[in-house]
């Protein structure tokens, strides 16, 4: 099912000209820091010396998780559909910030454990009413995995076909920090104690319990597949311990990269989706802009593994795409300085070589 993705690295055709344009703005070399690397990345992705991020879209994928039955979350599962309705009615943080920056918001039901009312901002792509409890059985079938991936692909195609030129991704799903930590453990070959964090506010005992559930789930999966997790391919990993909204995000990232459009990665859970997508197609990472480093314990080590330099570090741990939308004005500034800031020559200012 992953054969549909054939992702090339961004073109290096404009590298020299892009760097020359950035270096010859009226500033000391490197003085705009992260903005310069963002402008260079956007130029490479768009294969242009003038970049455009004026038509963004936020897509939030939502799903529920059977493993919540193991007591890995502070909140009950019914919070997922309640929060989805909060997004749709404009009351969530991501809704407020999207309205602030005039960024369209789309919420995608990939696996919420409820029948949701129709709404103009809601896309109904439900695979099932939650994944299976992966501590007891595989999280999903291969058919369900395919549907989750295709949900992300379809949402990206719809957005890009309507002129969107920058995508931002978020998620909602009670228990999905546990699922993400489990996926990270399998993808990186680390101990569950290194990946399990507080999520929505677990105490130390709750975090320890989460790590135990992850360890038990991975042991179950290794026994049932007959393979150590280090030998799992992407499909096996997803079927055994994946989450619908996480995999839909991965599909969306892969399709965005395949269509050569930059996308913004939110926090810990979105970063795990990218780590999974990178297992499918390594070049997907080069189309990713990292919004922030979250307060979730394992996010720093995950960002390091992805060789990522996030734009913000605001001690956030909300999810929803909240960090992604907060980073948007800085991404806009990177584009504006590349496009509009004067060069030494055009401004008649002496550069360092002429002093």
Please list the active-site residues: 320
* Residues 135, 220 contacting (CB under 8 angstroms): yes
What gap in Å lies between CA 28 and CA 143, rounded to an integer?
Answer: 55
What gap in Å lies between CA 36 and CA 254, rounded to an integer?
Answer: 25
Taking the alpha carbons at both ends of the chain, their separation in whole angstroms is 60
What gap in Å lies between CA 288 and CA 274, rounded to an integer?
Answer: 8
Longest dimension (CA), the chain: 71
What sign results for the dihedral spanned by CA atoms 236, 240, 241, 242?
positive
What gap in Å lies between CA 59 and CA 270, rounded to an integer?
Answer: 12
Report which DSSP code applies to 52: -
What sign results for the dihedral spanned by CA atoms 313, 318, 324, 325?
negative
């Amino acid at each position: 099912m992953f054969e549909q993705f054939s992702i090339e690295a961004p073109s290096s055709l404009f590298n020299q000209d892009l760097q020359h344009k950035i270096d010859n703005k009226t500033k000391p070399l490197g003085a705009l820091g992260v903005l310069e690397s963002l402008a260079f990345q956007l130029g490479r992705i768009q294969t242009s010396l003038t970049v455009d991020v004026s038509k963004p879209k936020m897509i939030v994928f939502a799903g529920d998780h059977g493993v919540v039955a193991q007591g890995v979350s502070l909140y009950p599962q019914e919070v997922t559909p309640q929060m989805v309705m909060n997004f749709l009615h404009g009351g969530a943080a991501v809704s407020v910030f999207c309205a602030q920056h005039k960024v369209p918001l789309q919420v995608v039901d990939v696996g919420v454990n409820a029948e949701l009312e129709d709404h103009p901002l809601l896309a109904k792509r439900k695979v099932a009413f939650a994944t299976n409890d992966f501590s007891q059985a595989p999280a999903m079938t291969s058919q369900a995995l395919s549907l989750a991936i295709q949900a992300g692909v379809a949402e990206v195609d719809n957005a890009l076909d309507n002129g969107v030129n920058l995508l931002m991704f978020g998620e909602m799903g009670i228990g999905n920090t546990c699922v993400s930590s489990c996926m990270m453990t399998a993808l990186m070959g680390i101990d569950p104690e290194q990946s399990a964090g507080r999520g929505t506010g677990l105490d130390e005992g709750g975090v320890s319990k989460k790590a135990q559930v992850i360890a038990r789930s991975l042991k179950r999966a290794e026994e049932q597949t007959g393979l150590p997790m280090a030998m799992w391919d992407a499909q096996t990993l997803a079927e055994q311990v994946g989450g619908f909204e996480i995999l839909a995000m991965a599909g969306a990232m892969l399709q965005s990269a395949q269509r050569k459009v930059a996308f913004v990665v939110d926090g810990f859970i979105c970063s795990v989706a990218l780590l999974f997508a990178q297992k499918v197609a390594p070049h997907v990472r080069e189309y990713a802009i990292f919004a922030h480093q979250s307060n979730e314990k394992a996010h720093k080590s995950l960002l390091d593994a992805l060789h990522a330099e996030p734009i913000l570090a605001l001690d956030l741990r909300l999810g929803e795409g909240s960090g992604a939308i907060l980073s948007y004005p800085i991404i806009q500034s990177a584009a504006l300085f590349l496009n509009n800031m004067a060069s030494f020559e055009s401004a008649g200012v002496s550069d360092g070589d002429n002093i």
